[in-house]
Amino acid sequence: SGSHNMKIIFDYYHLNDIQYPCILQQFVNHGGILLKVFLIGNTDENNNHNGNNFYVVQRGSIRNFTTLTTTQPNETIAFHTKEVSSAQSCSPLNNNENSNNLIFDEKAIKDIANKIQMKFKLNLLSIDIISDCSTKQYAVIDVNYFPGYEGLNGLNERLFYLCIRLLKQQQQKPK
To the question of pTM greater than 0.95 for the whole model, the response is no
Sorting pLDDT into bands at 50, 70 and 90, what band is 152?
confident
What residue type is 147 in one-letter code?
P
Instruction: Please give the pLDDT value at position 47.
Output: 39
pLDDT tens track for 67-87:
555 555 578 888 888 777 776
Cβ-proximal residues to 54 (8 Å cutoff; 6+ apart), any chain:
37, 38, 39, 40, 109, 110, 113, 114
pLDDT tens track for 90-103:
777 877 655 557 78
How many structural domains comprise the chain? 1
CATH code for the domain of 26: 3.30.470.20
Instruction: Please give the pLDDT value at position 99.
Output: 56
Cβ-proximal residues to 174 (8 Å cutoff; 6+ apart), any chain:
none
What is the residue range of 36's domain? 5-172
Q: What is the dihedral of CA 110, 113, 115, 119, to 10 degrees?
A: -160
Rounded percentage of the chain residues whose pLDDT exceeds 70: 86
